[in-house]
Structure 1
């Protein structure tokens, strides 16, 4: 692992003192260092495209080169502004991209990262973004950063540093806190207890998928009603909404996360033009990017209930904090005349006994498809 103090010293020496992006587990040491030492110069963005826009504004106002950090799976969110805003043939905005390399060939990552890992270098080439792979070598870091910034500034374009596993990582922590009574897992189990057995669930990227999966195992329940959205962060609610439209006689629930909902918040507005009273959007709100290092989101700074109401959801008008309040909210919205929404404030933390999520994706999706179409 690179010496983070040295990395930031070299960034500062090359005029980079402003940071924005979306946290990544391969960059958690870097992201947490920024948070601890340069918080006033760091903006954790809603999504990677948002970060490119923020970085652009910083350069326009200061002429200083910004740094944008992200996981390579977030490149898709950044493609449009990278090619139509900051490209040297358009406005020519220099910036340094720090990209965690999930799915790097030969490293044995999870299947949802494999294709993205294989195409990351070629995707950057297609976008005409020069790049280098960051070595775990403290003696080289000075020249690597200097060369990257020189190219970005000279040619007025982004330059990417692709970061392999462990190069900028930090110590793994459970991020446990006691800010609210309920854990995410406890909230999910309360929902399972309160709703009909044939309810369909779409669980968001991150730890909610693991917890739903292993709750089913512990309770000896079928997993055929569950969609585990292991990738495509921010899209679990769209999947759930569309299922609900086709399965009007069944309850369909999205188990969403605050950072995931924020990433593609425009999806909330879809219920304003779609009548879907069997759709329940549940926000498991821990105010953090927990699965990638625990960096804060704005989940605890904004009023999701008011936002959801403005988008057309029926809510109880406030968040819930404990089992009794959650149970009451589920009962109150049971006969909602439109899509409904519950913001559950939960504390951070994952049960240490939960193993990694390892299952046959094709088998799981085929079982769900069969379940959804068995009553047609």
Structure 2
């Protein structure tokens, strides 16, 4: 599956979810019109999208939070899975785009590629459910169940390796968080 196909599918199911996107998911999410409101681009802090999403899920328990994370980004703070599971936000949906690369920094293969199973790690950490999908059809079929499940849940989306996008939305994180804070107070 291509990243854009997964992004398009997520757009259909976003509804009023708060979203956090990092690295290679940030620009396609923005291009799909999904970063206009209730969204934070976490491209300035690789590895922190999961934790940022956790804070939003805890701060707005009546809203679902979709975290669009990368495999390389998650590896940088793999321990965040334990923290997320320990706090157990029922409104937390963690989507991992898995291509086996640190794509943003030059397409280096990630440690543990072909060995690490993020679904098993998430479940062992205490996530309620986890899915692994590798085709658009499989993802579309699973999305209704995913979005109706009680979180925290993790979805590993196997995507094709591709070049770029190497551009990022370019809006610093601090003003985005300030705008979200104003919406919730």
Q: What is the TM-score when the length of structure 1 is the normalising length?
A: 0.45
CA RMSD, aligned part only? 2.2
Map 1:84-99 onto structure 2 (within 5 A): none
Q: Which residue of 1 aligns with 2:169?
A: 357
Q: Which residue of 1 aligns with 2:9?
A: 190
Q: Is the Cα contact below 8 Å between 1:277 and 1:339 reproduced in 2?
A: yes
How many equivalent residue pairs?
A: 184
Greater per-residue strand proportion: 2
Closer, same or farther: CA 335–356 of 1 in aligned 2, 3 Å: closer
How far apart, in 2, do the equivalents of 1:271 and 1:230 lie? 20
Closer, same or farther: CA 296–246 of 1 in aligned 2, 3 Å: same
Q: 2:89 aligns with which of 256, 276, 281?
A: 276
Point out where structure 2 has 5 or more consecutive residues left out of the alignment. none
Q: Is the Cα contact below 8 Å between 1:256 and 1:281 reproduced in 2?
A: yes
1:225 aligned onto 2:38: yes
Q: Which has the higher contact order (CA 8 A, sep 6+)?
A: 2
Q: Which residue of 2 aligns with 1:331?
A: 144
User: How far does the alpha carbon of each residue in 1:310-360 deviate from its partner, in whole angstroms, 9 at most, with x for none?
Assistant: 1111334x51012221123221223323311100000122577x8653346
1:211 aligned onto 2:42: no
Closer, same or farther: CA 279–361 of 1 in aligned 2, 3 Å: closer
Q: Is the Cα contact below 8 Å between 1:207 and 1:291 reproduced in 2?
A: yes
Map 1:91-110 onto structure 2 (within 5 A): none
1:302 aligned onto 2:116: yes
How far apart, in 1, do the equivalents of 2:8 and 2:163 lie? 14
Q: Is the Cα contact below 8 Å between 2:133 and 2:155 reproduced in 1?
A: yes
How far apart, in 1, do the equivalents of 2:106 and 2:74 lie? 18
Q: 2:19 aligns with which of 201, 204, 218?
A: 201
Structure with max Cα Rg: 1
Alpha-carbon shift at residue 277 of structure 1 (Å): 1.1
Point out where structure 1 has 5 or more consecutive residues left out of the alignment. 1-181
Alpha-carbon shift at residue 292 of structure 1 (Å): 1.3
